[in-house]
Amino acid sequence: ITNQKDGNYNRAHYKLTADITLNTGDAANWKSTAPANESTSIGTWSNATSSFGGTFDGNNKTISGLYISPESGDNYGLFGAIQGGAVIKNFALVNSYVYSPGGNVAAIAGTTDRSDEGDILIENIYVDAYVYSGGNNAGGIVGTISNTTYDESYVTGMLTVNKVTFV
């Protein structure tokens, strides 16, 4: 997933066909002793094609052992930045560890981006992860929600989180 050839995650679509184990061992210990494999977040905050705006259907599979712990920056999670139009659904993320030295960190998405491109849906997800921030804006599912607008006459860039468990 993280090797999208042209870096364009804007409307990419993925469906897991098997469980994924990235690391073994207890994620509770990874703050002091890193596991063998470090992952990179999917999508970044830099422009409209680099944040994730497609569909990620976990197909009721499990991702285990995600470890993200960069030396600098912010916007980290399984997805670094998701934008309007993104749909992330149907999987479990377990025994995982996500750290951001700058902030905007969560197990699923470090930040939301570009609300004018549509709504974001995160649903039917189970998360068992350790999330740490060296800065600010840490969350279990989404670290920070950016670029949303609400007033009495309209709402743009809705983020809907449905049937999500974080332990």
Q: What is the pLDDT of residue 43?
A: 87
Separation between Cα atoms, residue 166 and residue 105, nearest integer Å: 14
Helix (H) / strand (E) containing 159:
strand 159-166
Q: How much is the CA Rg of the chain, to the nearest whole Å?
A: 15
Separation between Cα atoms, residue 82 and residue 115, nearest integer Å: 10
pLDDT band of residue 116 (cuts 50, 70, 90) is low
pLDDT band of residue 147 (cuts 50, 70, 90) is low
Q: What is the pLDDT of residue 146?
A: 73
Q: What is the pLDDT of residue 1?
A: 43
Separation between Cα atoms, residue 22 and residue 80, nearest integer Å: 18
Strands, E assignment, 42-140: 55-64, 67-68, 79-83, 87-100, 103-105, 109-113, 120-133, 136-138
The model's pLDDT over 128-142, given as tens digits with 9 standing for 90+, comes to 999 999 998 999 999
| Lowest-pLDDT range of 5-9, 40-44, 54-58, 145-149 | 5-9
The model's pLDDT over 50-95, given as tens digits with 9 standing for 90+, comes to 889 899 999 999 999 999 999 999 999 999 999 888 999 999 999 9
